[in-house]
Structure 1
Amino acid sequence: MRLGTFRLSNASFIGVLDGNDVIDLAAAAAALPRYREAQTAFSDMRTTLASVETIRGLLKEGPVLGPFKRPLDQLKIQAPIANPNKIICIGLNYLDHAIESHAEVPTEPVIFTKFRTSITGPGQPIRLPRISKTVDYEAELAVVIGKTGKRIPEEEAMEHVAAYTVFNDVSARDLQNRGSQWTKGKALDTFAPLGPYLVTRDEIADPHNLAIKLELNGKLMQNSSTSQLIFKIPQLISFLSELVTLEPGDLIATGTPPGVGMARKPPVFLQPGDTVKVSIAGLGELVNPVVADS
Structure 2
Amino acid sequence: MATEKGKAVRVVGYLQDGVRYVGSLSNDKVTPLATMEAFYRHGGVTEKAGAPIPVSDLELVPFVPETARIFCVGINYKAHATEAKDIGGIDEPKFPMIFGRFASTLVTDGTPVPVPPNEDGLDWEVELAAVIKDDVWEATEENAVDHVLGYTAFNDLSARRKQSDTIQFTLGKNADRSGPIGPVLVTADEVEDPTNLRVMTRVNGETVQDSNTSLLIHSLAKIITYITDTVTLRAGDVIATGTPGGVGMSFTPPRLLGPGDVVEVEVEAIGTIRTPIISRADL
CA deviations 1:81-139 (Å, max 9, x no partner) are: 25143111000000100101213221101111111221111111111111322421100
User: Quick one: distance in 1 between partners of 2:136 and 2:198?
Assistant: 29
Q: Is this contact kept in 1: 2:44–2:133, CA < 8 A? A: no
Match of 2:68 among 79, 85, 88: 85
TM-score, normalised with respect to structure 1: 0.86
SS in 2 for 1:256: coil
| C-alpha deviation, 1:266, in angstroms | 1.5
Larger radius of gyration: 1
| C-alpha deviation, 1:9, in angstroms | 9.5
1:97 equivalenced with 2:80 (yes/no): yes
Question: 194-203 or 132-141, which moves further after superposition?
Answer: 132-141
Q: Which residue number corresponds to residue 23 of structure 1? A: 31
| C-alpha deviation, 1:73, in angstroms | 4.3
SS in 1 for 2:39: helix
Q: Is this contact kept in 1: 2:128–2:241, CA < 8 A? A: yes
Q: Which residue number corresponds to residue 3 of structure 2? A: none
User: Quick one: distance in 1 between partners of 2:150 and 2:139?
Assistant: 17
Match of 1:51 among 23, 42, 47: 42
Q: Which residue number corresponds to residue 104 of structure 2? A: 117
Q: Which residue number corresponds to residue 159 of structure 2? A: 172
SS in 2 for 1:177: helix
User: Quick one: distance in 2 between partners of 1:130 and 1:8?
Assistant: 33
CA deviations 1:47-105 (Å, max 9, x no partner) are: 413435642xx25xxxxx7x611123444543222514311100000010010121322
Q: Which residue number corresponds to residue 54 of structure 2? A: 71
Q: Is this contact kept in 2: 1:117–1:188, CA < 8 A? A: no
User: Quick one: distance in 2 between partners of 1:52 and 1:248?
Assistant: 7
1:139 equivalenced with 2:139 (yes/no): no
1:128 equivalenced with 2:115 (yes/no): yes
User: Quick one: distance in 2 between partners of 1:221 and 1:23?
Assistant: 36
Q: Is this contact kept in 2: 1:79–1:122, CA < 8 A? A: no
Q: Is this contact kept in 2: 1:82–1:119, CA < 8 A? A: no
Q: Which residue number corresponds to residue 142 of structure 2? A: 155
Match of 1:235 among 222, 247, 252: 222
| C-alpha deviation, 1:150, in angstroms | 0.9
| C-alpha deviation, 1:284, in angstroms | 0.7
User: Quick one: distance in 2 between partners of 1:84 and 1:225?
Assistant: 30
Gaps of 5+ in 1: 26-41, 60-64
User: Quick one: distance in 2 between partners of 1:175 and 1:83?
Assistant: 25
User: Quick one: distance in 2 between partners of 1:136 and 1:246?
Assistant: 28
| C-alpha deviation, 1:12, in angstroms | 5.7
User: Quick one: distance in 1 between partners of 2:156 and 2:44?
Assistant: 31
TM-score, normalised with respect to structure 2: 0.89
Q: Which residue number corresponds to residue 247 of structure 2? A: 260
**Structure with more helix by fraction:** 1
User: Quick one: distance in 1 between partners of 2:249 and 2:65?
Assistant: 29
Q: Which residue number corresponds to residue 270 of structure 2? A: 283
SS in 1 for 2:209: strand
Q: Which runs of 4+ in 1 moved over 6 A?
A: 8-11
Q: Is this contact kept in 1: 2:43–2:235, CA < 8 A? A: no
SS in 2 for 1:159: helix
User: Quick one: distance in 1 between partners of 2:102 and 2:280?
Assistant: 18
Q: Which residue number corresponds to residue 37 of structure 1? A: none
